[in-house]
Chains A and B, each alone.
Chain A
Amino acid sequence: MAKNTKHQLVNYDKYGYFFVAPFIIAFLVFQLYPIFYTFQLSFSDLAGWETQMNYVGLKNYFALLENELFLKALRNTWIIWTMNFIPQIGLALLLAKWFSDARMKLKGAGLFKVLFYMPNIITAASVSILFSTLFSYPMGPINQLLIQFGVLQEPFEFFRSSGATRSIVAFIQFWMWYGNTFIILMAGILGINPSLYEAAMVDGATSSQMFFGITLPLIKPITLYVLVTSFIGGMQMFDIPFLLTLRGNPDYSIETVTMFIYRQAFSGSRNYYVAATASITLLVMIVIVSMIIFRVMGGDESIKKPFTGRLRKAGTPK
C-alpha cells in the first residue's frame, strides 16, 4: 500500500532542469568552452592559417611580459582609466548629493537624470567621430575657438600629443559614464532611510556632516559596486580609443590591452596565441585587483544590517 502511494506521487522536480537547460547549454557552448579554449590557445603556438597547435608551455607568458607594446598597452589602460574614474566618481557623488539633499530641494531631478545619462546612449562610433572632428588639426572647431580667444597662437595638433590624446579619451569615458554612476549612486542614496537625516537635522547637523556621516558610509556597498564594475569595464576599454585615432596613435599612447589583443588576433600574422595569452593575463589581473578592492573596501559589510534591524523594530514608516 505504501509502495503504491509513493508511485502515485508525481515528481515535478525534473522539469526545473528543462527550464534551465537553454541557459546552461548556451553558457557551456558560448562562454565556458571559449574560456577553456583561450586557456588552451595561450599554451600553444597557433597563428595565421595554421590549424594544428603545438604546446609550448609557459613560453608565451614570459614573452608577453617582455613585450614592450603589451606593457605599454597595460600602462595606457591604467592611466586612462584612472584619469577617467577619479573625476567621474567625484562629480557623480557631488551631483547625487545635491539632487538628494532634502534642504536644497532641487527641481527637475528626473529631467537632469535623463540629461546626464544622455551621452551614454550615443554610440561610441558617433562619439569618436564627433571628438576627432572637434579636435582635428589644423582647422578643427576647438583649435579655431582657442585661437579666437587668444589661448593659442597657432593650431595645436591634439592627436599628435600623447598627453592630449589620452586626456581626450579619458574625458570621453568620463563624459559618457558619469551619468550612469550618478544614477546608481542616487539610487543608493535614496535607499537610505530619510528618518536618519531627520534625526540628524533635529540634532543640528550641517549638510556636509550628514553627507560624510550618513550618506557616504551607507552607500559604501554601492560605491564598491561602482568601483569594481568601472574597473572591469575600464580594463576592457576598446571602442573609443580604437575609433578615435588609427592604431592607438600617436605613438601607441592610447592603445589599450583589448586593442592589443584585437590587433594580435585579427591583423598581421594573426597570432592567436599572443592574443589568448594577453586575454588570460588581463583576466588574472582583473580578478586579483577586484579581490584586493573587495578585501580593502568591503571588510565591514556588517554596518548596514544592525541599522535596518533597529529601524524596523522602532516601527518607522518606510
Chain B
Amino acid sequence: MKKWIGLLLTFTLILSVTACGGAKQDNSEASNQEKEVGVATDNKGDTLVVWTFTDELKGMIENHYLKDNPDLPYKVEVVVVPNDQYQNKLDPVLASGKSAPDVFALEAGYVKKYVDSPFTADLASIGFDRDNIDTLPYVLDVATDTNGVLKGSSWQATPGAFFYRRSLALEYLGTEEPEEVQALMSDFDKFYDTAMTISEKSDGKVKMISSLGDLVQVFYAARQDGWVVDNKMVVDPKITELMEMGRKLESNKLTNQSEQWTEQWFASISGNDVFGYFLPTWGLHYVLKTSAENADTGVSTSGDWGMIQGPSSYFWGGTWLAMREGSQMEAAAADLIKYLTLDESFLKTWAEETGDVLSNEAVVNEIKDGFTEPFLKGQNHYAAFADMATKVDASILTGSDKDIQDLFTEQLTAYSKGEKERDAAMDDFISSVKNQFPSLEY
C-alpha cells in the first residue's frame, strides 16, 4: 500500500514537472506567432512590473497613468532602485529572465548598453513607427541599436542650461538680466573671470558652483568622441580641458567643495552661498523647485532664479523606457510606454504641470510660447529649451558611460584638489577603467 502511495506521488511529481515544461513551450510559440502578426494582444501575467532609477516615473504612473486608466485588469508595480545599484540589480534578472521587469527605465549613462543587448524588445512589434511619431530624432537615435532597430522611447529631451540666482547676480555683477549675465559667461574663460569677480566681491562667501561635478556634463557633451569608439577607449581632449578647469576653480576656491546630490549640495539651492547650477531641463522641476525652500527659515528662493545657456551648450541625462524581450505582459507594457511617451494629452498635462521639456515636437511647438515660469521670475524657459533641444547630438553616448565616468570622477577630484599631477591621475584613470573593462583596447 505504502509503495503504491509512493509511486503515485513520484508519478504526479514527474507529471507536473513535465506539464510545466510543456506549457512554457506553448507560451513562447504563441508569443512568436503574435510577433509575426505585429501587435501583441494578450497579457499572460497579472502584474506589470516597472523598474526605474528615480521616483519621477513612479509619480507619472501613479498620478497620471493609473488615474487615466482606472480599470486596468492587472496591477502595475513600480520598483525604484537607486541609480548607483540599478545596473547591478538589473543585469542578473535580465540574464536569467526570472522576476525581471516588463518595462524598465534607462538613463543616458547606460541606455546604449541595454539597447545593444538582446534583452530589449523591438518597439516596432508593439506599433512604434519612428517615421510617424513626432519624437525628436536624437531621442530615438540614442535608443536605436547598431542594426537600426528602435528599442526605447522617451517623453523628454534634455538640453542643459545654467541656472543662476538673480539677487546674487544683481549684487555682485550689477545686473540680473539673462542676456547680460549670459554675456559675462559666454565661454569658459569668461565663466572663470566672472567666478573670480563674484568670489572677490563677496569676500569668498559666494561660490560660482556648488560642486565640481556640476561642470562635467558640459564638457562631456562637448567631446568629439565618446569614451569607447570601436571597442577602443578614447580620452577626448575636452577631458584634459575639464581637468584644467577643475584645478583652476578648486585652487581658487571657486566651488563650494560639496559633492553632487549630497545634503550640502541641495542645501545651497535654498542658501545664499552658491551662484548657480548647471542643470538640464529636468533639473528645474525635479531638483531646483523641490529644494528651493530653506528647511530652517522657510524662505524660498523661488522667483529668484534666471536661466541662461552658459559657456557651452550641452545635454545631460534623460530617461528612456524599454520593454523586456520575452515579457509576459507585452500588451500592458506597450500601452504604458505609448501612454508615457506618445500620448499627446498626457504629455501636455505633464509639461504644463512640471515644465519638463518634451521630446514630442508637435506638443512642444503647441505649448512653448505660452510659458511664463514664476520660478524663473517669468522667464519662458520652455521656448529656450525647445530651441536647444533640436540641436542636441547625443551620438557620443556609449553603454559604458556611467561606469567610466564614475571612475573618472575620483581622478578629476584628485587632480583638481592638487593631490596628484595630471599624468598620474590620467594613468590611474586608465588603469581603473582597464580593471573594469579588460576586454577593451587601450
Contacts and interface: CB of A to CB of B under 8 A. Distances in A.
A69 B433 CA distance: 11
A139 B438 contact: no
A263 B439 CA distance: 16
A17 to B, nearest CB: 16
B410 A268 contact: no
Interface stretch (B16-24, B39-47, B87-95, B330-338): B87-95
B440 to A, nearest CB: 8
Given A47-B439, A250-B414, A266 B91 contact: yes
Contacts of B403: 267-268
B431 A69 contact: yes
Contacts of A160: 413-414, 417, 419
Contacts of A138: 257
A301 interface: no
B95 A49 contact: yes
B182 interface: no
Given A251-B428, A268-B403, A274 B264 contact: no
Contacts of B297: none
Contacts of B414: 160, 250-251
Nearest to A260: B435
B12 interface: no
Given A69-B435, A263-B436, A268 B419 contact: no
Given A49-B95, A247-B410, A136 B264 contact: yes
B437 interface: yes
Interface string A227-257: 0000000000000000000110111100000
B436 A269 contact: yes
Contacts of B400: 268-269
A120 interface: no
Contacts of A266: 87-88, 91
Interface in A155-181: 157, 160
A188 to B, nearest CB: 41
A74 B326 CA distance: 42
Chain A at the B interface: SS class: loop
A251 B436 contact: no
Contacts of B419: 160, 250-251
| Size class of the B contact interface (CB-based, 8 Å) | 20 to 34
A41 to B, nearest CB: 15
Contacts of B439: 47, 269
A300 interface: no
A257 to B, nearest CB: 14
Contacts of B312: none
Contacts of B420: 251
A160 B264 CA distance: 17
B264 A139 contact: yes
A252 B414 CA distance: 11
A13 B277 CA distance: 75
Nearest to B440: A269
Contacts of A268: 400, 403, 435-437
Nearest to B118: A49
B294 interface: no
B406 interface: yes
A193 interface: no
Contact of B410 (A47, A51, A139, A251): A251
A274 B87 contact: no
Contacts of B417: 157, 160
A129 to B, nearest CB: 11
A1 B91 CA distance: 69
A250 B91 contact: no
Contacts of B406: 246-247
Contacts of A136: 264
Interface in B387-407: 400, 403, 406-407
Interface of B: 87-88, 91, 95, 117-118, 257, 264, 400, 403, 406-407, 409-410, 413-414, 417, 419-420, 428, 431-432, 435-440
20 contacts: A47-B439, A51-B95, A67-B435, A69-B432, A69-B435, A139-B264, A160-B414, A160-B419, A246-B406, A247-B407, A250-B413, A250-B414, A251-B420, A251-B428, A267-B87, A267-B436, A268-B400, A268-B436, A269-B438, A270-B91
* 5 tightest Cβ-Cβ pairs between the two chains A and B: A268-B436, A266-B88, A269-B437, A69-B435, A268-B403
Interface of A: 47, 49, 51, 67-69, 136-139, 157, 160, 246-247, 249-252, 263-264, 266-271, 274
Given A246-B409, A251-B410, A251-B419, 19 more contacts: A49-B95, A68-B431, A69-B432, A160-B413, A160-B414, A247-B406, A250-B413, A251-B414, A251-B428, A252-B432, A263-B436, A264-B435, A264-B436, A268-B400, A268-B435, A269-B436, A269-B438, A269-B440, A271-B436
